[in-house]
Structure 1
Amino acid sequence: MATKPMTKTQLVAALADATESDKKSAGAALDALSEIITKEVAGGGAVTIPGVGKVYCRERPERMVRNPATGEQIKKDADKVVKVTIAKALKDSVNG
């Protein structure tokens, strides 16, 4: 059975313990990292987090989709989607 994911508060506390700093500076660092990743990916770039993976934006072309309620075919405009590729080191550590 799966456990609950780590919350931001728990992550900040763990980060503060690991870096031997206070929770306020650990929270600020986590917020700064999130902001940097958001700006870079929104601008079309990619961010590689060593040992974790790569976050990037991929463009999807215009395509035909089906409304599941009515079965009607409709055209969906091109859009962008954020993707994460997990690092091999993380995959290997999980699979043991």
Structure 2
Amino acid sequence: MAKPMTKTELVAALATEMDADKKTATAALDAITGIITKAVADGGAVTLPGVGKIYCRERPERMVRNPATGEQFKKEADKQVKVTIAKALKDSVNG
């Protein structure tokens, strides 16, 4: 498995693709990240064409078990961020 791309590497690749400097690419990446974070935190969803859909799902209150002690306890309702990968990306990875 290849190493994950770091933010620095992503900014450099984005700057090359945009034909811009790294400062502009960093600002663009930070803006996109901020928009996605705000939209998902507000309960919405964001679709990145060719990549997938990022959304927030609410989980109900439920009983869970501590694996170390076997003790069961009630876990409060919470939210979970989910990502559904686009078919185009799956197809490109699988050949």
Give unmatched runs, 5+ long, in structure 2.
none
Matches within 5 A, 1:51-90: 51-90=50-89
1:32-47 paired onto structure 2 within 5 Å: 32-47=31-46
1:94: which partner in 2?
93
- The 3-state SS of whatever aligns with 1:89 is helix
Structure 2 length-normalised TM: 0.98
CA RMSD of aligned residues (A): 0.5
State the partner residue of 2:15. Answer: 16
Q: Within 2, Cα distance between the matches of 1:3 and 1:84?
A: 21
- Percent identity over the alignment is 79
Distance 1:73 1:10 in 2: 44
> Which stretches in structure 1 are left out of the alignment for 5+ residues?
none
By how many angstroms is 1:3 displaced? 1.5
Q: Which amino acid aligns with 1:92?
A: D
Deviations 1:43-96 (A, max 9, x none): 000000011000000000110000111101100010000000000000000000
Q: What CA distance in whole angstroms lies between the structure 1 residues aligned with 2:68 and 2:13?
A: 45
Q: How many residues align?
A: 95
Q: Distance in 1 between matches of 2:92 and 2:43?
A: 30
4+ runs deviating over 4 angstroms: none
